Structure 1
Amino acid sequence: MSFQVDGEVASCGGRLLKLNHESKETKTQMSVNIYLPQQYYTKQTSKIPVIYYLSGLTCSPQNASEKAFWQPQADKYGFAVVFPDTSPRGDEVPDDPENGWDFGLSAGFYVDATQDPYKKNYRMFSYVHDELPRALHQHFQKQGSSSQLDFLDNIAITGHSMGGFGAISAFLQLRSANKYKSCSAFAPMVSPSGVQWGEKAFGGYLGNDITTWKKYDPAALIQTVKNTNNDYILIHQGTSDPFYKKQLKPELLQQAAKGTTWEGKIDVQLVDGFDHSYYFISTFVPKHAEFHAKNLGLI
């Protein structure tokens, strides 16, 4: 599968590539950004690991690329960063009938929809965790540099808000396959089945049978998925975040982990005065970068 290059921007010591490609899963053109660190251009012999960053509601690949400041950390440790889009897009893609911002376009919730009219295009779980990594691997293989970038094996995942939910959900769902070496999140929604954002999205994409929601709900998954590798999940949450108490509730993941192999392994760090914005995210990206670099074997 080939990518079209929409732009190439010099950033820090490397370059940010702005790409798009035709997705078989979403049946649309999908945009994705990838930051290639300075180590990519020095042609080092060891493979460069990859961190996948999932953005939140209303975002595109541009938001985190421009405002999260992952690039200096990528250069420091030697990993690449992939910024997927948050939903399929296009005139034919169904949107929120209520014209809201928390469902539909820019709000795919990283699930595979099973309900009409969304199931044709909203295949974000399969797209992000299967099709996109394989497509990137094939693309760079054709460029002659697949041996430099490890899109498939030595990888980690993180995200913000809706993307934080998506990161933790996928990390737990794919734990038996050891898909991701580590997982972190910024202000994630950890129990979507019990909050307004999640109820609306899960109901619209997955239907009204609440038992089917548990496949994606981190608070439910953590009670059934075994932590066989002594993994930790790192979470930062701002105490001045207006969504903290009503929609996000990261402490619920710690509560759900009690009595399981994950008890004591959910590190929720509350940080006073920080909100839900990229001022918050960019402040704590260095801590998350170090956390993942250790798990990816870079430290």
Structure 2
Amino acid sequence: MKQIEQYSCFVGTQSVWEHFSHSLNCQMKFAIYLPKQAGNQKLPVLYWLSGLTCSEQNFITKSGFQRYAAELGVIVVAPDTSPRGADVPNDDAYDLGQGAGFYLNATQEPWAKHFKMYDYIVDELPDLINAHFPTNGKQAISGHSMGGHGALTIGLKNPDRYASVSAFSPIVAPSQVPWGQKAFLAYLGENAQDWQIYDSVELIKQGKKLPHILVDQGLADQFLNEQLKLNLLEQVCETHGQNAQIRYHEGYDHSYYFIASFIGEHLAYHAKRLAA
């Protein structure tokens, strides 16, 4: 691993590291915030998954989470959203290829060699973080938009790994919306049954369950009706007994202004469950 950035922030340190990922077959970057408590004790980790077009930079520069992580004593890790590099396949569109990994394991060419973001987030990155930083083994996961989709599906498929799961403006039923359909067709192929293991609504229908889910959604979000469809998550949670708090907020859109407004509540939500 190589550290490429470090800044003092709320008496802790915000840094960015680069390493070779065996899951993704390329160099990857992740950001990590270490509060001052990490100097003398092991702490829990919150993994944050960002959305389409984002890198490891968006969350750490726009959300203001560091203030709350410092107060609560939580390490926060924000990886990049896809494999990167000249040898990694890409697409001219913003919603496919680099910057659009969708937190799945691609099975189709030319994507299969590099696009294994599910394995990277679930296994490789936590192993790396636990080996090099003062963690106590407890972890939570959250994310925004495509990253909200990633947090929900990864949490539902691995309930024993995460003390808590939350999301902002998540793509909850990617099999039923243009963003997800485009990505799934390219990465996973034409068999729609293969898509279901990366679809939160379908996973809950299949009986996957978490102790609780927290979701925040802005009602002025330009993607709500076509791409996010939070009503489908509400319906399936009610039908299948999934405990969820889905909060709607007047006037808020899909931007980091929305995330910054409520990230403190999400950090407190996770810190409480990580301490249990």
Q: TM-score, normalised by structure 1?
A: 0.90
Q: 1:294 corresponds to which residue?
A: 272
Please give the per-residue CA displacement for 1:164-210, whole angstroms capped at 9, x wherever unaligned. Answer: 000000000112xx111100000000000000000000001000100
Tell me the secondary structure at the aligned position of residue 52 of structure 1. strand
**Of the candidates 202, 209, 217, which is equivalent to residue 184 of structure 2?**
202
Per-residue CA deviation, residues 195-238 of structure 1 (Å, 9 max, x unaligned), is 000000000100010000001100000122343x6x11111111
Partner AA of 2:268 in structure 1: E
Partner of 1:211: 193
Q: 1:67 aligns with which of 62, 85, 88?
A: 62
The one-letter code of the counterpart of 1:180 is Y
Mapped partners of 1:25, 1:241: distance in 2? 34
Conserved 8 A contact 1:251-1:268 = no
Name the structure 2 match of 1:49.
44
Whole-Å separation in 1 of the counterparts to 2:69 and 2:244: 24
| Aligned equivalents of 1:207, 1:290: Cα separation in 2 | 39
Change over 3 Å in CA distance of 1:199–1:226 after alignment to 2 = closer
Superposed CA deviations along residues 257-286 of structure 1, whole A, max 9, x for unmatched, are 233231xx1211000000111100000001
Asked if the contact 2:6–2:15 (Cα under 8 Å) also holds between the matched residues in 1, the reply is yes
**1:290 CA displacement:** 1.1
Q: Indicate the SS of the match to 2:94.
A: coil
Structure 1 position 25 matched with structure 2 position 23: yes
**Partner residue of 1:169 out of 126, 147, 153:** 153
**Counterpart of 1:259 in 2: which secondary structure?**
helix
Partner Cα separation in structure 2 for residue 266 and residue 185 of structure 1: 11
Once the two structures are superposed, what CA deviation does each residue of 1:146-180 show, in whole Å capped at 9, x if it has no partner?
xx313xx31000000000000000000112xx111
Asked if residue 236 in structure 1 is aligned to residue 220 in structure 2, the reply is no
Match of 1:149 among 123, 126, 135: 135
SS at match of 1:225: coil
Identity of counterpart residues, as a percentage? 43
1:69, distance to aligned residue in structure 2 (A): 1.1
Structure 2 counterpart of 1:15, which letter?
Answer: T
- Three-state SS of the structure 2 residue aligned to 1:82 is strand
How large is the RMSD of aligned CA atoms in angstroms?
A: 1.2
Unaligned runs of 5+ in 2: none
Report the CA distance shift for 1:226/1:195 in structure 2 as closer, same or farther (over 3 A). closer
Distance in 2, Cα, partners of 1:295 & 1:137: 19
Give CA deviations for 1:102-149 in whole Å, capped at 9, x if unaligned: 110100000000000000000000001100110122233xxxxxxx31
Matched ranges for 1:1-299 at <5 A = 3-41=1-39, 43-44=40-41, 47-96=42-91, 99-140=92-133, 148-150=134-136, 153-175=137-159, 178-227=160-209, 231-262=211-242, 265-297=243-275
The answer (yes or no) to whether the contact 2:50–2:59 under 8 Å persists in 1 is yes
- Higher strand content, 1 or 2: 2
Dislocated runs of 4+, deviation >3 Å: none
Q: In the alignment, is the contact (CA less than 8 A) between 2:83 and 2:98 conserved in 1?
A: yes
Task: Measure the CA separation in 2 of the matches of 1:213 and 1:126.
Answer: 16
What's the CA shift string for 1:19-73, capped at 9, x where partnerless? 01000010000000000012113x13xx300000000000000110011111111
Quote the Cα distance in structure 2 between the aligned partners of 1:251 and 1:36.
36
Q: Distance in 1 between matches of 2:260 and 2:216?
A: 11
Q: State whether residues 226 and 261 of structure 1, in contact with CA within 8 Å, keep that contact through their aligned partners in structure 2.
A: no
1:164–1:189 Cα contact (<8 Å) kept: yes
Aligned residues: 276
CA distance in 2 between partners of 1:170 and 1:216 (Å): 8
User: C-alpha separation between the residues in 2 aligned to 1:274 and 1:11?
Assistant: 27
